[in-house]
Structure 1
Amino acid sequence: MNTKLVLFCLLFICPLLTHSQTLTPEQLRADLAYFRTALNEVHPATYRYTPKAKFDSLYAAVAAQLNHPLTQHEFYVTMTPLLVALRDGHIKWLLPGKDEHYPFFSDKLFPAKLYFLDNKAWIVGNYGTDTLPIGAEVLTINDQPIATVLRKLLPNMTFADGNTKTGKYEDLNHFFSGFYATYIGAPTVHKLTYRAGDVTQTVELPAVSLAAITTYNERHKPSPQPAHRVTFNDSTRTAVLTIERFWTENNEQKFNTFLAETFRQIKAKNVANLVLDLRNNEGGEEKYGVWLYRYLAQKPFRYYERIRVRQKKAYSFPAWTPKLYRMFRWLAVRKRADGYVFTKQTGLKRHSPQRDAFGGKLYVLVNGGSFSVTTELAARIHADKRATFLGQETGGAYEGNSSGIFTITQLPNSKIDFGIPMFGYYMANLPAGLQTGQGIRPDHVLTPTINDVLSGTDRTMHYVRQLIWANQEAALKR
């Protein structure tokens, strides 16, 4: 699903409540009930990863906390465990008009950019005027060890399907200051202890604004490149196909045209090794994944086994849903013995490989930022044993996700926008032995170190090139 479109739609109602105003217990319980009603009528797979009994128990625990007045911020945080329990990285829980990662604070933000790996963190950038040593390891933030900070933040982060965690770490690396302010605190001064070489030092730094973070990010953006691109190395008969997102902007070449031209070149150049780089591709339009796999498949295939929807009738609460879906749901939604399914999707059909489909060795690069449509494509490739995978586990789940189009509603008292994915995608012909909620796990796990990050070294790309070279050398000796 195109995340930009979803976020645009979620701003359709103006905020009517400031986060410092309090809500009565009656208002809070009414919003909790509204939340459950919306979830029950819209979400296609509420209990895919959390059994109903466990979810009901958590719901009761949240309800028990709504026995005294809370601010909008306090209610937002109190409700977060229910969002996390869905284990659905597409779910949206936003304040209208606010940045999704900085919902309550546009100032009082942590002043450094950090890189997290396991239970450690390092300084990789400065948002404020105070300069911290780049590459120094952060030991504590406001007197809390990094491991403690992570134990508080990770359980409140929703960018993950199933039991995956790599997407959460990707989010931390980009938006730590926002998560810290929302779920731990937003002091005007942050106390930081770090170690640089053999020297350990504690400093106090003034908080920064979101404007300062945005300015830093703009200044350090990588040089622009086409989102869909291919490069060739004739000496190793290798092509690297990079797909940064599965949608096209108005000024870009149509994706189908790009694929046709790219694979004609691959065939003409007699490419033996294709590296498909899907890292940090959070998805887009489902049909793009199907189109691309037709150029990679070696035999006819089905992409999706089914697409679940919750119901066919109109909702009992006010909500925004795409007009096109409302017009055609009577034709596209069918009732089966096990519930309702959506039938008008190209991935449900049986497809044959394209004429210029690539038949050589395929290598796929993924990481925690590989999500949604990208994980679906990776799952199809992996299930068909079509490629060697390198990098980190995907942020999306192997067996499918809930995404597609969204229903968007606003809780009446707290004025929080709730965006619920309507389609439950289930991948076809999955391998036996999958662990529930796992992502696509690479054959070669390669995690960037802090030295890789600071030096700009692409560990995974370097490794796959060495692997291709080694395979070619081995082939020559046979």
Structure 2
Amino acid sequence: MRPFLSVLVFSALSACAAQKVEEHPFLKTPQIPAEALAEGERPLSPEELREDFAALYAGLKSGHFDLFVNRSEEAYDALFADMEAGLDQPLHPSEALFIFQRFAAFGDIAHARVEGVYDVWGRYRAAGGRALPVFPAIRDGRIFVSESYAPRVMQGEEIVAINGAASSDWLERLSQTVSCDNPYICGTLLERTFSVEFWAEAGAPDEVVLTLRGLDGRLRDENVRLLTSEELAAAELTSAGEVFTLGFGDRDAKMLEGGAAYLRPGPFFSYETPENPWQTEGFKAFIDESFETFQREGAAALILDIRQNPGGTNSFSDPIIQWFADEPFRFYSSFEVRSSPEAEASNEARLALAGESDNEVSRRYAESFAETPYGETFTFDLPFVRPLRGKRFEGEVYVLVDRYSYSNAVTVAAIIQDYGFGLIVGEETSDLASTYGAMETFTLPNSGLVVGFPKARIVRPSGDPAPVGVIPDIAIEIPPFATEDVALEKLLGIIAGRE
């Protein structure tokens, strides 16, 4: 759990904001210029803010499978009272968002959050907002420089302090805006969003002072100027030392050395069709064509790469597993769902979006919600998925995972490990294999902010409820500053018998 900490008040913040910080650290809002607000966005009165805040808490209590599993109801009530009392000034929804998100994140569940933080950040950056030009690698509570576009700040150096405050203090403060289950997943999420959370906490000073432990072990201070998007892009063109990374949207299928087939399916949703991200037709066609090609090419092994994968739904991942499964499977041993008006309404909206297309799961949810009184739970029983007949991939299966494999990507790894369909290779996932998930959403009445919550408790196929990630069968240490694909190269060596 993340303790409350007093926060550093920068002179650039207004007196009003400073007063809010003194009242409660969760009431801090970033400095958002008018041009970074959404079109037509108006400030909400304190009365409207409190109405939305009450709706946020009521909706989480109603819809969340177990809001108080990590924080007691008494602790949440006390936090609500403190924060509600501090909502005494008008705020735009883009500002209130950060306050409400900290409240949702207080429960230490990754799938409970207020959506939209990164939309606000995107508008801020597009309007000329400045950000840190240093990107971190967070390991065991320490911050290292993964990528740097600041003069004299080198990749691999440790950030010991920022503006005189210890990095460990900054990690605790910044994590208060991040929905996460434990410090491990908090660290992995913060690596991608550090600049956003720093802005939410500290505003946008012209520069910060980083205390660095150099590669020679010596400490020194460096003044680092924050950069606009244009300045950062220019700095990237002239810098060296970028780390190896995989693309978010990569969907790739190819043959590699030694007869190994490589499949990187990409996200388990259709980001290509944002108007309906859950339509699977194009994705299934890609998967079927990939496996048919692998078989024609005589692939002896399959590498399924789900590293740096944000997840999605099993309607996308099950068709992959069907190609090599040797028995019927499903993604859980226990799947309990809490019935609530919020979850029922969210499911109804998904059905309306689907129209005439196949959405059997949502229809079954609708039946169960109708039969189950609000506040009670029901067992959601999905049929086992059967392997494909007559064209099963017979080679060895290896699944590459890392700390950035999230949500349904973790579920895929757990299925394959628990059923013995293949071997898991790489790092332990930071996201959990048994989790609170199956997210739904509701909307706050005045701000229009969208709140996501987990309606279900899902236990991995093995029946192990422990709140841990998928632990690889073959562990490969992945250096945070690698410039090439270390894990894939090591796995190819294992397959070829070189390692």
Aligned length: 437
Measured in 2, the distance between the counterparts of 1:449 and 1:462 equals 13
Q: Alignment partner of 2:121: what SS?
A: coil
Residue 142 of structure 1 and its aligned partner are, at CA, apart by 0.8
Q: Alignment partner of 1:174: what SS?
A: helix
Match of 1:264 in 2: 292
Measured in 2, the distance between the counterparts of 1:188 and 1:349 equals 57
1:398 aligns with 2:420: no
Superposition pairs for residues 49-448 of structure 1, below 5 Å?
Answer: 49-50=69-70, 54-68=72-86, 69=88, 72=91, 73=95, 76-77=98-99, 80-89=102-111, 91-94=113-116, 98-99=120-121, 107-127=129-149, 130=151, 132-158=153-179, 160=180, 162-163=181-182, 165-198=183-216, 200-210=219-229, 212-213=231-232, 227-233=250-256, 235=258, 237-248=259-270, 249=272, 254-304=282-332, 305-306=334-335, 308-311=337-340, 321-322=349-350, 324=352, 330-331=366-367, 333-336=369-372, 339=376, 348-355=382-389, 356-403=391-438, 406-410=440-444, 412=446, 415=447, 417-421=449-453, 423-424=455-456, 426-427=458-459, 429-432=461-464, 434-435=465-466, 437-448=467-478
Structure 1, residues 331-366: CA drift from partner, whole Å, max 9, x if none? 5645358946597xxx92222111322233221111
Match of 2:41 in 1: 15
Measured in 2, the distance between the counterparts of 1:255 and 1:75 equals 34
Residue 176 of structure 1 and its aligned partner are, at CA, apart by 1.3
Measured in 2, the distance between the counterparts of 1:206 and 1:60 equals 39
Q: 1:350 to 1:253 in 2, by over 3 A?
A: closer
TM-score, normalization by structure 1: 0.76
Structure 1, residues 204-227: CA drift from partner, whole Å, max 9, x if none? 233223554577679989797983
> Retained in 2: the 8 A contact 1:246–1:289?
yes
1:262 partner letter: S
> Retained in 2: the 8 A contact 1:59–1:82?
no
Structure 1, residues 289-347: CA drift from partner, whole Å, max 9, x if none? 1111111311112335546253358989x99944617996755645358946597xxx9
Percent identity, please: 18
Residue 195 of structure 1 and its aligned partner are, at CA, apart by 3.5
Q: Alignment partner of 1:301: what SS?
A: coil
Measured in 2, the distance between the counterparts of 1:115 and 1:101 equals 25
Residue 181 of structure 1 and its aligned partner are, at CA, apart by 1.8
Measured in 2, the distance between the counterparts of 1:416 and 1:250 equals 23
2:120 partner letter: K
> Retained in 2: the 8 A contact 1:372–1:403?
no
Structure 2 gaps of 5+ residues are 1-36, 275-279, 356-362
1:125 partner letter: E
> Retained in 2: the 8 A contact 1:411–1:418?
no
Measured in 2, the distance between the counterparts of 1:97 and 1:458 equals 31
Measured in 1, the distance between the counterparts of 2:126 and 2:369 equals 39
Measured in 1, the distance between the counterparts of 2:321 and 2:171 equals 37
Measured in 2, the distance between the counterparts of 1:289 and 1:197 equals 43
> Retained in 2: the 8 A contact 1:55–1:85?
no
Residue 281 of structure 1 and its aligned partner are, at CA, apart by 0.9
RMSD of aligned residue pairs (Cα, Å):
4.2
Measured in 2, the distance between the counterparts of 1:270 and 1:408 equals 49
Measured in 1, the distance between the counterparts of 2:131 and 2:348 equals 33
Measured in 2, the distance between the counterparts of 1:55 and 1:311 equals 19
Which of the two has greater strand per residue? 1
Structure 1, residues 245-293: CA drift from partner, whole Å, max 9, x if none? 1234269982222222222233334433221110111023430111111
1:335 partner letter: E
Residue 37 of structure 1 and its aligned partner are, at CA, apart by 1.9
Q: Alignment partner of 1:407: what SS?
A: strand
Match of 2:34 in 1: none
- Worse-matched range after superposition: 199-208 or 223-232: 223-232
Measured in 2, the distance between the counterparts of 1:185 and 1:281 equals 30
Structure 1, residues 2-48: CA drift from partner, whole Å, max 9, x if none? xxxxxxxxx99953228xxxx64x665433321122223443x1338
Structure 1, residues 415-441: CA drift from partner, whole Å, max 9, x if none? 371322465363563334x41x22212
Residue 78 of structure 1 and its aligned partner are, at CA, apart by 7.2
Residue 194 of structure 1 and its aligned partner are, at CA, apart by 2.1
TM-score, normalization by structure 2: 0.73
Q: Alignment partner of 1:375: what SS?
A: helix
Larger relative contact order (C-alpha < 8 A, sep ≥ 6)? 1
> Retained in 2: the 8 A contact 1:29–1:63?
no
> Retained in 2: the 8 A contact 1:15–1:97?
no
Q: Alignment partner of 2:159: what SS?
A: strand
Q: 1:342 to 1:322 in 2, by over 3 A?
A: farther
Measured in 2, the distance between the counterparts of 1:395 and 1:411 equals 34
1:231 partner letter: K
Q: Alignment partner of 1:61: what SS?
A: helix
> Retained in 2: the 8 A contact 1:364–1:389?
yes
